[in-house]
Structure 1
Amino acid sequence: MFNHFRKELDWGGRKLILETGKIARQADGSVLARLGDTIVLCTAVGVKTAKPGQDFFPLTVNYQEKAFAAGKIPGGFFKREGRPSEKETLVSRLIDRPIRPLFPEGFRNEVQIVATVLSHDMENDPDIVALIGCSAALTLSGIPFFGPVGAARVGYIDGEYVLNPTLDQMKGFQLDMVVAGTAEGVLMVESEAHELSEEVMLGALEFAHASFQPVIQAIIELAEHAAKEPWALPEPAPEVAALKARIDELARTSIAEGYKEQQKAARYEKVGAAKKAAAAALTAEGLDADKAKGMFKDLEADIVRNAILDTGLRIDGRDTKTVRPIIAEVGILPRAHGSALFTRGETQALCVATLGTGQDEQIIDSLEGESRSHFMLHYNFPPYSVGEAGRMGSPGRREIGHGKLAWRALRPLLPTKADFPYTMRVVSEITESNGSSSMATVCGTSLSLMDAGVPLKRPVAGIAMGLIKEDRGFAVLSDILGDEDHLGDMDFKVAGTEAGITSLQMDIKITSITFEIMKVALAQARDGRLHILGEMALGLSGARGDVAATAPRITIINVPKEKIREVIGTGGKVIREIVESTGCKIDIEDDGTIKIAATSEEQSQAAIDRIRGIVAEPEIGVIYNGKVVKTAEFGAFVNFLGTRDGLVHISELAQARVAKTTDIVNQGDAVKVKVIGFDDRGKVKLSMRVVDQATGEDISDKVGAKGGGRPRDADAA
């Protein structure tokens, strides 16, 4: 019944298994990919005909994690998987980026890739398994695809590269890098590093590329047995060449003139007018102007790319290595805890940092279990940033991806929670964009955190590199414009400090690039990064000495673990009352660490005094402030040390004989009491007669009582 094929590979000490022909047989391509006990079902389906007039390639990739893969039931009211998590979105992008360049130029048929995590062994991350499985499914499907693609994760542990480290091995990592590519070269890189050198990063790329070659070979061998017949691609219509030639005649000169305009808006206006005029001429000649849309882009690319290779000068007049003018400003929002406006050319990011407490941490519910994050970075790209009017809604894949890239760049430089017990959130609002707003976010976030008083180890900056590669040579471009990104061959983002790289992301739009080009790009990026750090230092060179006056002040105290229950109280009654009465936020950890956040010293001290009063043990001979909570015929019960009650016997209420308790005290009275002992049940015995109620002085000697006390204010106990 099943036409089942299986390919097994010993890969880095673990078995990688690719199977097809048993599950999802109606998909064009279907592969069950397995590494250890992590299993991902990957499918590829393509539509045989393109929609008429469609001028883009409609590829969608959906990576989805099922809760049953980890033996879990989803949380929430509906108890089923809902909108994609941040990780699902990021992995979908991770798969999309290396496979998209490998479809034929001009291919416009809709293709959908779905990767479903069926099992997670808590050792092998499903992302690499999914990427390999999707590459294999496409290779088997018959859909035009110039693959296959291989992928690997590389760790750097104790000076050694590690292939596909487990989740446990990645704790305390120095490098987490995912690399994908073909047999010829690398197509995609995503990484987070702890200030590693360019040499170490390049070595990791080479290590990964060599490591996934056996995977590519395994996919090829599986395809030899199980691949479907390749689709026949339609031959270009004879009139296409003639149409391209006519467009070149009509528009080359005017478009080239438009690209001499260095200001973005003016350039777009001139180039747009040139294309509109050429389209009108085509229509007047009876030619199909709609078919010419993609041809205009090809013409623009030819003009821009060859101008750079011929002259060494770019659209805005810069050479290949110069970074656009930078202005770095901090403290621009008076009520924010930290703020920065980073402007580089026509790209601008307004980054705002907010400090919170442990209660503000993000709770992440994933297949690996529940975790908490005390650093969040949210990136927003409103339409006005590029002079457009468009739909605004929840963050898209691009916004999530750019935010995560900047998050990775900053995270290695953050202080530990023990050193800086704040939750940190940064929002980056892109207010202008003309190239690499994600790297502007890295720079602006670094400045805003330092402005908020976050003690970063070192400032972090980022730069985007581009590439123009033709048969006659190549040019690496520093700090690329938006047009250079669209019309170029590479988007290579590098972030880091003066000491090394913290994040590297690369996407290639051609089949691959050489390691020699990457080496040049990394060296040029380092020079650019150091220049940007110097410009940032003019705005703020290091973290401020203290957090902003508007930020909460967090004080940490420690109490015995056995006292935590008393601080919390039954059903949280005690801690709620302290929070309500003092206005503080209070976090209590299982080890007895208590973090108190307040906007004033008075609030903080009041909460500290209350908590210390609860956990303190009464000492014989010590005088405390107290409050009468109940009266009886035989004496008065007095609350002191927060939650501690003791009895003042009627004989200890005053120096003279007392006939009735309420002749001396009533419920609610504030009194001063001295601990004179404990009864057989451990209850505290108190005295008022040996304490001067006006001054709090111990007058035991004057009234003939034994023992001496030292005055102590219960609120400071």
Structure 2
Amino acid sequence: DELLKKVEALTDDLDEAVKVTSKRWRDDAINKIKDRVFTELAPSREQVILDPEAAENLVILQMTWKKHIAGRMRRLILDEDRRPDGRNCTTVRPIHIVPGFLPTAHGSALFTRGETQTLAVVTLGGDDMAMKQESIDGEAQLRFYLQYSFPPFSVGEVGRVGAPGRREVGHGKLAERSLQNTIPDKEKFPYVIRIENNILESNGSSSMASVCGGCLAMMDAGVPIERPVAGVAMGLIVEDSQIAVLTDILGMEDALGDMDFKVSGDGEGISALQMDVKVEGITTDVIATALIQARKGRLDILSAMKEAMPSHRETLPETVPKIHTMSIAVKKIGEVIGPGGKQIKSIIEDCGGEEMMSISISQDGLVSIMSTDLDAIAKAVQL
């Protein structure tokens, strides 16, 4: 291809640019080379506007550039076992963890893996904080849910921040499913648990960082998690008979590689999977290799998490409201609530009002009394 040869002639220093370990400086170095190529080979803006053929040539040049830079990155990995940030194929990026990052929150953790960082915040509350969810099966109340936020500044961009998009909802659901099985039964831990994951910086695998950060934040809040969960994203480079499976992929490897395979779980097994592929098919050997590498990477991450936070808090933080549960006969539910909720409202008012206390009663007679004041809870129990 003549155009590709012209691009290659102008990019002798591209390999060195791809090898720059910092995402910011690597992008700057690559963009300088790209500017050189497009200045030399791209049609002018005026030509693109006036001439359809020039516009088509610009698109072809853009595709050729992407193919060229992808080829350089892929050859670097396959021939030298060297990735853009300097790692080999099986190494997880450096991890830094700060549990209890926000001292007044119920639970929090700052989790950083390479150039991907999330601030996970946990809020504990009563049944009235449960998320109401409607489906074809009817209405359900979720006592555990995770919300994922990916603001534009996390990738160095400026943009409008509004309602969560499809990507944010999907990533949040994946992280939520990864952690779902760690949540203790209501009888053991009566709180509703909300995790908010705020991505502060992203260079690949932010959803799996959210799994790690969310787990640590729950442990910081005193949620009795016995088997912590971590997640890692696996990548793939395939060129003819050469295959490389990548552990803990970068954004560049995701964009220019052949697979994004997210795997989460604890030390014993897998809790969630998600795979996106750009090739026609993947063999069982490749999947097996990816799962084996993912387990090693996951164990490395879990080891770092354990070092930062060996176990969950034994006692709840002082900022968490206390919950007392008790059972009443089902036939007594109406009597406790009273006509129009008069009786239960009276109890709440006598114990400090709605700002101090909330009471919920399930259909099977389980009463949950929540307040920051233990004396108020004791009074409500007596009433």
TM-score under structure 1 length normalisation: 0.50
Q: Which has the higher strand share?
A: 1
- Once residues 28 and 194 of structure 2 are traced to their aligned partners in structure 1, the CA distance between those partners, rounded to angstroms, is 38
Asked if 1:275 corresponds to 2:73, the answer is: no
Deviation at 1:280, TM superposition (A): 0.4
Deviation at 1:547, TM superposition (A): 1.8
- Once residues 197 and 250 of structure 2 are traced to their aligned partners in structure 1, the CA distance between those partners, rounded to angstroms, is 19
**Which residue identity lines up with residue 365 of structure 2 in the other structure?**
G
- Once residues 560 and 400 of structure 1 are traced to their aligned partners in structure 2, the CA distance between those partners, rounded to angstroms, is 40
Q: For residues 61-80 of structure 1, what are the structure 2 equivalents within 5 Å?
A: none
Q: For residues 98-177 of structure 1, what are the structure 2 equivalents within 5 Å?
A: none
- Once residues 591 and 504 of structure 1 are traced to their aligned partners in structure 2, the CA distance between those partners, rounded to angstroms, is 35
- Once residues 59 and 257 of structure 2 are traced to their aligned partners in structure 1, the CA distance between those partners, rounded to angstroms, is 24
Q: 1:348–1:431: 8 Å Cα contact kept in structure 2?
A: yes
Within the candidate set 367, 376, 381, 1:603 is matched to 376
| Structure 2 gap segments, 5+ residues each | 48-53
- Once residues 292 and 345 of structure 1 are traced to their aligned partners in structure 2, the CA distance between those partners, rounded to angstroms, is 32
Deviation at 1:362, TM superposition (A): 1.2
**Which residue identity lines up with residue 316 of structure 2 in the other structure?**
V
Within the candidate set 487, 504, 510, 2:279 is matched to 510
The answer for the alignment partner of 1:382 in structure 2 is 151
Q: For residues 489-638 of structure 1, what are the structure 2 equivalents within 5 Å?
A: 489-582=258-351, 583-610=356-383
Note the alpha carbon deviations across 1:8-32, whole angstroms, 9 max, x for none: xxxxxxxxxxxxxxxxxxxxxxxxx
Q: For residues 256-295 of structure 1, what are the structure 2 equivalents within 5 Å?
A: 256-283=15-42, 288-295=57-64
Q: 1:458–1:542: 8 Å Cα contact kept in structure 2?
A: no
Deviation at 1:553, TM superposition (A): 0.7
Q: Secondary structure at the match of 1:585?
A: strand
- Once residues 390 and 284 of structure 1 are traced to their aligned partners in structure 2, the CA distance between those partners, rounded to angstroms, is 29
**Which residue identity lines up with residue 363 of structure 1 in the other structure?**
K
Within the candidate set 301, 313, 317, 2:82 is matched to 313
Q: Secondary structure at the match of 1:541?
A: coil
Q: Which has the higher helix share?
A: 2
1:541/1:564 CA distance change after superposition, 3 Å: same
- Once residues 397 and 249 of structure 1 are traced to their aligned partners in structure 2, the CA distance between those partners, rounded to angstroms, is 41
Within the candidate set 219, 236, 239, 1:450 is matched to 219
**Which residue identity lines up with residue 41 of structure 2 in the other structure?**
L
The answer for the alignment partner of 2:121 in structure 1 is 352
Using CA pairs under 8 Å that are at least 6 residues apart, name the structure with larger relative contact order, 1 or 2. Answer: 2
Aligned residues: 369
**Which residue identity lines up with residue 535 of structure 1 in the other structure?**
A
Deviation at 1:561, TM superposition (A): 2.5
- Once residues 87 and 121 of structure 2 are traced to their aligned partners in structure 1, the CA distance between those partners, rounded to angstroms, is 31
The answer for the alignment partner of 1:431 in structure 2 is 200
Q: Secondary structure at the match of 2:252?
A: helix
- Once residues 349 and 13 of structure 2 are traced to their aligned partners in structure 1, the CA distance between those partners, rounded to angstroms, is 70
Note the alpha carbon deviations across 1:185-208, whole angstroms, 9 max, x for none: xxxxxxxxxxxxxxxxxxxxxxxx
The answer for the alignment partner of 1:480 in structure 2 is 249
Asked if 1:411 corresponds to 2:184, the answer is: no
**Which residue identity lines up with residue 262 of structure 1 in the other structure?**
T
1:586/1:281 CA distance change after superposition, 3 Å: same
**Which residue identity lines up with residue 271 of structure 1 in the other structure?**
I
- Once residues 287 and 75 of structure 2 are traced to their aligned partners in structure 1, the CA distance between those partners, rounded to angstroms, is 21
- Once residues 153 and 8 of structure 2 are traced to their aligned partners in structure 1, the CA distance between those partners, rounded to angstroms, is 33
Asked if 1:367 corresponds to 2:136, the answer is: yes
| Structure 1 gap segments, 5+ residues each | 1-240, 611-717
Q: 1:453–1:546: 8 Å Cα contact kept in structure 2?
A: yes
Q: 1:459–1:541: 8 Å Cα contact kept in structure 2?
A: no
Deviation at 1:372, TM superposition (A): 1.4
- Once residues 278 and 411 of structure 1 are traced to their aligned partners in structure 2, the CA distance between those partners, rounded to angstroms, is 49
Deviation at 1:290, TM superposition (A): 4.5
Deviation at 1:245, TM superposition (A): 2.5
Q: For residues 694-705 of structure 1, what are the structure 2 equivalents within 5 Å?
A: none
Deviation at 1:558, TM superposition (A): 1.8
Q: Secondary structure at the match of 1:276?
A: helix
Note the alpha carbon deviations across 1:219-244, whole angstroms, 9 max, x for none: xxxxxxxxxxxxxxxxxxxxxx3223
**Which residue identity lines up with residue 265 of structure 1 in the other structure?**
R
**Which residue identity lines up with residue 360 of structure 2 in the other structure?**
D
- Once residues 434 and 560 of structure 1 are traced to their aligned partners in structure 2, the CA distance between those partners, rounded to angstroms, is 55
**Which of these two proteins has the greater Rg computed from alpha carbons?**
1
Within the candidate set 285, 301, 315, 2:70 is matched to 301
- Once residues 237 and 43 of structure 2 are traced to their aligned partners in structure 1, the CA distance between those partners, rounded to angstroms, is 35
- Once residues 467 and 269 of structure 1 are traced to their aligned partners in structure 2, the CA distance between those partners, rounded to angstroms, is 25
The answer for the alignment partner of 1:249 in structure 2 is 9
